Amino acid sequence: MIRYPKNPVITRRDLMSQDPALIDVSSIFNPGGVMHESKFLLLLRVQNRARETFFVKALSSDGLTFELDDHHVPITNYPAVPTGFTTSMTRGSPDIPEMILMT
């Protein structure tokens, strides 16, 4: 493997959107990628300055030049987790994922 000399391939400046959640993007993190219908498909984790996280789809034919959706991927059917819990309070609970939640 050879690292691409023009990394990063995608930056926050590449995301042009009128989606209110994506207007003030501060960072793009850790894309998960797969080949789908002969294209590279990435699911980007995008964070805005309010520290809210959203996911955005990106597609590429060559793996270097990506077209980003101008809206975030809606996440549905995910159980709500009460705020104010920490990992020490939730560890081992089958009902609450292990994470620290900010209130």
Contact 68, 94 (CB under 8 A): no
- Per residue in 10-34, pLDDT (tens digit) is 999 999 888 998 989 999 987 788 9
Task: Please give the sequence-ordered ranges of beta strands (E in DSSP) within 16-92, or none if there are none.
Answer: 25-36, 39-48, 53-60, 67-68
Torsion of CA 63, 30, 8, 41, to 10 degrees: 20
Pairwise CA distance, residues 30 & 87, whole Å: 23
pTM, to two decimals: 0.69
At residue 100, the pLDDT reads: 47
Pairwise CA distance, residues 52 & 75, whole Å: 13
Domain ranges of the chain: 12-72, 76-103
Question: Low-confidence residues of the chain, pLDDT below 70?
Answer: 80-103
